[in-house]
């Protein structure tokens, strides 16, 4: 997730903002920039680390108001042009930094271009700068006139769809910094003779611990000596001042003990961001603009080949079920490290999908290069704009998960699944396998997933208690059927990665074909038992496990009144469409792995022998 900062005070804005941006480096970024309001608006930007930005700043740069940004690319590759802040006017009148996603930016861009505004970047954010300029400096008849910055902002926000945390400067209002928020975090820091704004408190924690958390649809004005906050109707709003008690290390984790726990919680916003702009309930459509395939080409597909490693392979395995069950397309999935060595047989009509969190996984890149030698179109699903895979694949779909610091993948896995669901349903619709009415119901259901995940997070104490009870077990089993088989594999992998316990995931029906010999009295067996077409089969598997005196921990729907008769412990998820239940079950397993590792005193964010991105074969 990008980082934004703002400063209004008595000190050098450039110095304060640079130091604040450094405090946000842990969030990950690919470029950075700053605008300082002195005699005018002066903007400086660079690709790469903040040290590169410092190198282009003139010595003794003046100005006591400023805004800054560290960018994690979403719309447009990492470049100086795409870095924030973005400006409008000649000479520059408006400068903006932005976190979030403007869903209708293309429509706004086309409209503003037709009105004479010149765009210099590929970003969605630049439309905000020009839209602000239009509402502040232009009357409806086209003559120039200036209205107040805050008034112009409110008018501009009426046209914007999506999420935003904004910090804005106007050359003609040199005494104020203006803020706005919807769905992206924004916090104000209250100092003496100075005030701050940032995407989290880490940015200014060394200067003040007195903060105000900005609510959705609020706007605010900061000056060196005052802070005013307004609701969406423009009424002054009284806000409680809170004192931050975290130390610095805790602050960069937003108060969470580990990045992994923070990122498990961030799945709520990550899934929302990945869905943003891609689905329409009203029309029953799925819009994947980055997919360079026509509906005719989709209809001609005879096969999908998925290539992935580790957690991404588990996502791809679920994708295989989705493509075959929904779209009626034969789908193969390969572990990339093995793919090149089995002399694959390729045919016309194959689409290759490579899934890689980092976009730099060596085995995945090698597999993609291999399959491209057969002239197959390739689609990459990744979280990192500008990574190697994005330059080599024919099409790229981005998981808008933000940086993931913990080695064990959580939110990137969930957002990979989201894109696979959207692809499978889009392909099914294009091939006449699903009706628009079904797609409307699907979109309604998938939009509920972030809220349903929040419900699971709200009951994490029960999962923690379960984890602590079995933290000293020597072995775990994970069982799932059909769509839940990949989730059982992922649950076992998470436990292995961070708790160093032996854990195995199985298709539940395979238990009696050998693995059941390993069951001993007291062995914990995690069984995914959400309602669906294999529910009765899973109950039979539970009985088999119980007959060997193992302990059954069931992940089940919160409306299931029967499962408690068979399982020793029940961890619940909200009742959902069977198709989407894996998105909920996996959150329980992520939390179970986290709290098991915590109870065992393991290194959670940096487990032994593992790296976040495997860049060698």
Mean pLDDT comparison of 38-47, 48-57, 587-596, highest-scoring range: 587-596
Q: Which residue has the higher pLDDT, 362 or 584?
A: 584
Q: Supply the CATH number for residue 67's domain.
A: 3.60.20.10
In a shared domain, residues 465 and 401: no
Catalytic residue among 2, 170, 309, 376: 2
Domain end, chosen from 401, 419, 447, is at 447
Catalytic residue among 49, 237, 239, 612: 612
CA 229 from chain center: how many Å?
Answer: 29
In a shared domain, residues 427 and 531: no
Domain end, chosen from 415, 447, 479, is at 447
In a shared domain, residues 270 and 239: no
Give tens-digit pLDDT for 494-535: 999 999 999 999 988 887 788 777 788 888 999 999 999 999
In a shared domain, residues 280 and 203: no
How confident is residue 615, by pLDDT bands cut at 50, 70 and 90? very low
* Whether the predicted model's global pTM rises above the 0.75 cut: yes
How high is the pLDDT of residue 250? 64
Residues 6+ apart with CB under 8 A from 295: 430
How high is the pLDDT of residue 255? 79
Mean pLDDT is lowest, of 30-34, 84-88, 104-108, 241-245, for 241-245
Domain end, chosen from 187, 217, 251, is at 251
In a shared domain, residues 227 and 292: no
Query: Residue 35 to residues 23, 31, 454, 486: CA-CA distances in angstroms?
Result: 18, 14, 37, 47
Q: What is the mean pLDDT of residues 328-338?
A: 93
In a shared domain, residues 558 and 599: yes
How high is the pLDDT of residue 616? 45
Given a cut of 90, is residue 342 above it in pLDDT? no
How high is the pLDDT of residue 521? 87
Q: What is the mean pLDDT of residues 18-29?
A: 84
Give tens-digit pLDDT for 449-472: 999 999 999 999 999 999 999 999
Distance CA(425)–CA(417), nearest Å, equals 12
How high is the pLDDT of residue 139? 64
Query: Residue 389 to residues 103, 162, 223, 349, 395: CA-CA distances in angstroms?
Result: 25, 28, 45, 22, 10
The reply to whether 612 belongs to the active site is yes
Mean pLDDT is lowest, of 64-68, 117-121, 285-289, 340-344, for 340-344
Q: What is the mean pLDDT of residues 320-343?
A: 92
How high is the pLDDT of residue 1? 57
Given a cut of 50, is residue 260 above it in pLDDT? yes
Q: What is the DSSP letter of 236?
A: B
Given a cut of 50, is residue 28 above it in pLDDT? yes
In a shared domain, residues 152 and 106: yes
Given a cut of 90, is residue 248 above it in pLDDT? no
CA 249 from chain center: how many Å?
Answer: 22
Which residue range(s) make up the domain with 610? 454-617
In a shared domain, residues 398 and 509: no
Mean pLDDT comparison of 74-83, 144-153, 341-350, 389-398, highest-scoring range: 389-398
How high is the pLDDT of residue 246? 66
How high is the pLDDT of residue 140? 56
SS3 of residue 230 by DSSP: strand
- In percent, the amount of the chain with pLDDT more than 70 equals 96
In a shared domain, residues 582 and 509: yes
In a shared domain, residues 271 and 388: yes
Q: Supply the CATH number for residue 311's domain.
A: 3.40.50.10490
CA 399 from chain center: how many Å?
Answer: 6
How high is the pLDDT of residue 569? 95
The answer to whether the CB of 203 falls within 8 A of the CB of 25 is no
Burial class of residue 458, CB neighbours in 10 A (0-12, 13-18, 19+): exposed
Q: What is the mean pLDDT of residues 575-586?
A: 96
In a shared domain, residues 415 and 470: no
Mean pLDDT is lowest, of 125-134, 393-402, 410-419, for 393-402
In a shared domain, residues 528 and 425: no
Strand partners, 46: 32
How high is the pLDDT of residue 375? 87
Query: Taking all residues of the chain, what is their mean pLDDT, rounded to a whole number?
Result: 91
Given a cut of 90, is residue 575 above it in pLDDT? yes
Distance CA(458)–CA(471), nearest Å, equals 22
Given a cut of 90, is residue 312 above it in pLDDT? yes
Give tens-digit pLDDT for 175-230: 999 999 987 888 999 999 999 999 888 899 889 999 998 988 999 999 999 999 99
Count of domains forming the chain: 3
Give tens-digit pLDDT for 135-179: 999 865 555 556 789 999 999 999 999 889 999 999 999 999 999
- In percent, the amount of the chain with pLDDT more than 90 equals 68
Which two three-digit tokens encode residue 201?
Answer: 């408190």
Q: What is the DSSP string of 150-186?
A: HHHHHHHHTT--B-EEEEEEETT-TT-EEEEEEBS--
The answer to whether the CB of 454 falls within 8 A of the CB of 573 is no
């Amino acid at each position: 997730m990008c980082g934004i900062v703002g400063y209004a005070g008595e000190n050098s804005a450039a110095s304060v903002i640079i130091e604040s941006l450094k405090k946000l480096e842990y969030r990950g970024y690919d470029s950075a920039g700053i605008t300082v309001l002195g005699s005018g608006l002066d903007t400086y930007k660079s690709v790469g680390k903040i040290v590169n930005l410092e190198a282009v700043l003139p010595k003794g740069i003046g100005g006591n108001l400023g805004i800054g940004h560290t960018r994690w690319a979403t719309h447009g590759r990492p470049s100086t042009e795409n870095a924030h802040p973005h400006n409008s006017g000649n000479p520059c009148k408006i400068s903006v930094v932005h976190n979030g996603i403007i869903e209708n930016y293309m429509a706004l861009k086309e409209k503003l271009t037709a009105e004479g505004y010149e765009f210099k970047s590929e970003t969605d954010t630049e439309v905000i700068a020009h839209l602000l300029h239009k509402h502040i400096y232009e009357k409806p008849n086209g003559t120039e006139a200036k209205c107040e910055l805050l008034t112009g902002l409110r008018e501009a926000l009426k046209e914007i769809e999506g999420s935003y945390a904004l910090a804005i400067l106007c050359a003609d209002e040199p005494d104020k910094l203006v803020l706005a928020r919807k769905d992206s975090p924004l916090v104000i820091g209250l100092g003496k003779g100075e005030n701050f704004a940032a995407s989290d408190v880490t940015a200014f924690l060394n200067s003040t611990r007195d903060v105000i958390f900005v609510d959705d649809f609020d706007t605010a004005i900061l000056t060196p000596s005052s802070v005013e906050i307004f609701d969406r109707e423009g009424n002054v709003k009284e806000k409680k001042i809170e004192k931050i008690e975290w130390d610095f290390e805790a602050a960069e984790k937003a108060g969470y003990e580990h990045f992994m726990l923070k990122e498990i919680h961030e799945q709520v916003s990550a899934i929302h961001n990945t869905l943003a702009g891609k689905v329409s309930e009203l029309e029953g459509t799925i819009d994947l603009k980055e997919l360079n395939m026509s509906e005719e080409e989709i209809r001609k597909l005879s096969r999908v080949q998925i290539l992935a490693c580790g957690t991404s392979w588990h996502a791809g395995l679920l994708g295989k079920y989705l493509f075959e069950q929904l779209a009626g397309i034969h789908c193969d999935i390969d572990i990339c490290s093995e793919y090149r060595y089995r002399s694959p047989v390729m045919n016309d009509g194959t689409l290759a999908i490579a899934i890689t969190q980092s976009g730099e996984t060596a085995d995945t890149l090698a597999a993609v290069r291999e399959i491209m030698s057969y002239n197959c179109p390739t689609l990459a699903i990744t979280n990192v704009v500008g990574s190697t895979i994005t330059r080599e694949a024919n099409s790229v779909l981005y998981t808008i998960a933000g940086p993931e610091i913990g080695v064990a993948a959580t939110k990137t896995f969930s957002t990979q699944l989201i894109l696979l669901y959207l692809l499978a349903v889009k392909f099914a619709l294009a091939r006449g396998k699903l009706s628009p009415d079904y797609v409307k119901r699907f979109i309604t259901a998938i939009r509920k997933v972030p809220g349903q995940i929040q419900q699971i997070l709200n009951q994490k104490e029960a999962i923690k208690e379960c984890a602590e009870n079995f933290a000293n077990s020597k072995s775990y089993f994970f069982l799932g059927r059909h769509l839940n088989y990949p989730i059982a594999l992922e649950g076992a992998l998470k436990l292995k990665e961070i708790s160093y316990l032996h854990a195995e995931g199985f298709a539940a029906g395979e238990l009696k074909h050998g693995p059941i010999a390993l069951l001993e009295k007291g062995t914990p067996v995690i069984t995914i038992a959400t309602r669906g077409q294999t529910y009765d089969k899973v109950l039979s598997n539970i009985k088999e496990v119980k007959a060997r005196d193992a302990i059954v921990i069931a992940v089940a729907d919160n409306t299931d009144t029967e499962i408690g008769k068979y399982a020793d412990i029940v961890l619940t998820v909200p009742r959902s469409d069977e198709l989407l239940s894996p998105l909920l079950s996996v959150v329980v397993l992520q939390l179970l792995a986290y709290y098991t590792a915590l109870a065992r005193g393991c290194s959670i964010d940096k487990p032994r022998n593992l790296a976040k991105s495997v860049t060698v074969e």
